[in-house]
Chain A
Amino acid sequence: MILCTEDEWQQTAGDLIALWTDATHAYALYHPGILRAVALTGGAYPALDAAGAAWFQRLAYDLNGHVATGAQDTRPAIEHYRAPDGTAAWPEFMPITGEGVHQIGVGPVHAGIIEPGYFRFSLCGEQILKLEIRLGYAHKAVLALMRSKSPRVAARFAARVSGDATVAHALAFAHATEAALALTPPRRAVYLRAIMAEIERLANHCGDIGAIAGDAGFAFLDARFAFHRENLCAAAFVAFGHRLMMDVVIPGGVAGDLHTGGAAAILAALDGLETELPALTRVFEDYTSLQDRLIGTGIIPPPLAHAYAAGGVVGRASGRADDARQSPGYAPYDTMTLQIPVANAGDVAARLRIRLAEMTASLEMVRHWLRGLPEDGIAVAPPAGEGMGLGVAESFRGPVWVWLVLRAGVISDIFIADPSTAHWPMLEHAAPGGILADFPLINRSINASYSGVDL
């Protein structure tokens, strides 16, 4: 950690990943894991100019009451009860005025089976002119619940910050704990974690690709990808005892070994997917009516992705070759060469292609690891130590970062940064220019987490 003066704090260049505060300091995390801190003066710290800082500064005010001096955007992030009379009054959306401009509000209860959030569209006819997103509906105060708990107990909360990326969140949390305690998990645990993380990536990519096709009217593709997703979840249940692999990754290793018949179940699911994947991919290439919906839709130009230091599929589809598995990197990926697919178009089609390319790589990796798992233990018990740790894991969305401080064996402070934090404001930029009917496609191609940012 680098302690800086207020001037150094503001003049730091680099890709800002996250910003948060504790009782005495404000912290800024830069790629690939450089932590800078500045002391709070009177509960305030200087605001940063980086585009991605705005959400975190709003969040720090809502969570801890700390003010970012000079910040432009001071709207509440997740706190809805900020009206002077203590009620949850609607925020003031910034209307666009003009001939024929109207607004549509969507949410927090959505049409599909998805999480809660609110979208306010300003439109002229079908054309989206502006989108404002209100989050915080899934706020559960998970960071407060994790404090004063041991890492082993708090892992249950880390696994439920975003249930679809439960392995990645639990892994980032485990990495942070292990960094704080200078703990090295057994090699078998490292490989089992990686197998779970890649199965989670495959399952979620299947779900997203299918849903994008389904939103474009190709129910057949949706059904087939959902079928393979189901097979992967069923295999995960056989291999690890839980369909989403919740609570298997713990600080110090994994909670249980690969079950008998687990490897065979995973390989069968992978084989089924790999056999059909070329035929399904061909449908995307062959049907112009499908391409018409995907190509040029919801463009996130590379400069925008760079401004927000976007990670994951969204960043890689807009020219950023970042992958936390390689930079900063962690075991077991640090000993291998990872092919990172990158595109520059930044549209729905590019994000879809990146997902398809990543699936092929993940299939290969899981199969390779299952062939030769090391035979040492599956976990070491974390000692009741002290220290500060940073941990990262690449979820199917992008890098999940966890920062925590351990005192006397319990967590005294923690912050979790989901990659969706950068993705939500980019969705606000990607939607305008398109038509309202394209919004489900754009939203699904980014698939930002609600629970992961509402915390």
Chain B
Amino acid sequence: MVWRTIARHLFSSHAGPRRADPAVVQALRRKLQAAGMKTLGRSLAIRHVAAGSCNGCELELRATQNLIHDLTQYGLSFTPSPRHADVLLITGVAGRNMVDAVRQTRAAMPDPVFVIAVGDCAVDGGVFKGSPMVGGGAEAILPVDLVIAGCAPTPGQIIEGLLALLEANAQLPRRRR
């Protein structure tokens, strides 16, 4: 069985690696530069927080790690600990019951921290906009550096957004340490 599987995979074709949208990279570079953002390396650890989602975005985030999308090939990985995370990735609305937990997660992370809002809910509250229990998107809790829209964004869209961050970060003027 194993040999048959290996043989099948030798002859199967897979899509090539994904690339970030150059326009998004340029806009993000200017934004990060204007904010005086310190640069990070090419390998980023992501701490995910669901701040009031429906579990749709979580499924697609998990799918970025599967054999097809293979997030780690780009040097990106999810980490359980905020202590060595570079990216705070927020899904879901700014639910009233999660605001403190999101702030505490950010406080537990060492600077610099990129904050990414993934999914329409995290962008501006999505369909739940206007609910008394919802303060809006992630921006209602923390300043957001990058948004990845979609309901739910596909794993490909999420990876392209994260790659834009890597590219923009690499183009920032390096500071001497």
Chain A residues contacting B131 (CB-CB under 8 Å) are 140-142, 144-145
Q: How large is the interface on B (under 10, 10 to 19, 20 to 34, 35 or more residues)?
A: 35 or more
In the assembled complex, which residues on chain B have CB atoms less than 8 Å from the CB atom of A424?
none
Of A109, A112, A140, chain B has the most CB atoms within 10 Å of the CB of A140
User: Contact: B54 with A160, CB < 8 Å?
Assistant: yes
B117 in the interface, Cβ–Cβ < 8 Å? no
B54 and A139 form a contact (CB under 8 A): no
Is A164 an interface position by the 8 A CB rule?
Answer: yes
**CB <8 Å contact, B66 and A139:** no
Known: A138-B95, A160-B127, A450-B55. A226 touches B50 (CB 8 A): no
Taken together as a complex, chains A and B put the C-alpha atoms of A80 and B97 apart, in Å, by 7
Q: Which chain B residues lie closer than 8 Å to A161 at the CB level?
A: 54
Tell me how far the C-beta of A21 lies from the nearest C-beta in chain B, rounded to whole angstroms.
Answer: 19
CA distance A111 to B38 in the complex (A): 27
Whether B33 is near chain A, meaning CB under 8 Å from some CB there, is: no
Residues A115 and B50 in contact, CB atoms below 8 Å apart: yes
Q: For residues 154 through 181 of chain A, which have their beta carbon under 8 Å from a beta carbon of chain B?
A: 156-157, 160-164, 166
- B68 interface residue (CB < 8 Å to A): yes
Once A113-B62, A226-B67, A230-B67 are accepted as A-B contacts, the answer to whether A163 and B53 lie under 8 Å apart by CB is yes
Interface residues on A, range: 35 or more
A162 to B57, CA, bound (A): 11
Binding site for A on B (CB under 8 A): 1, 5, 48-63, 65-69, 78, 80, 92-93, 95-98, 100-101, 105, 127-128, 130-134, 151-152, 154
Contact with B along A68-103 (1 / 0, CB 8 A): 000000000010110000001000000000000000
| Cβ contact within 8 Å between B151 and A246 | yes
The listed residue (B59, B62, B78, B130) touching A244 by CB distance below 8 A is B59
Contact of A163 with B152 in the complex, beta carbons under 8 Å: yes
Q: How far is the CB of A70 from chain B (nearest CB, A)?
A: 28
In A397-441, the 8 Å CB interface with B consists of: none
User: Considering the chains assembled together, what is the distance between the CA atoms of A88 and B63 in angstroms?
Assistant: 34
A59 CB to closest chain B CB (Å) equals 14
Would you call B52 and A163 a contact (CB within 8 A)? no
**Distance (whole angstroms) from the CB of B40 to the closest CB of chain A:** 21
Residues of B within 8 A of A136 (CB): 97
What does the 1/0 interface line of A127-141 toward B look like (CB < 8 Å)?
A: 000000000111111
CB of A141 within 8 A of CB of B134, answer yes
Complex interface residues of chain A between 173 and 228 (CB less than 8 A to chain B): 207, 223, 226-227
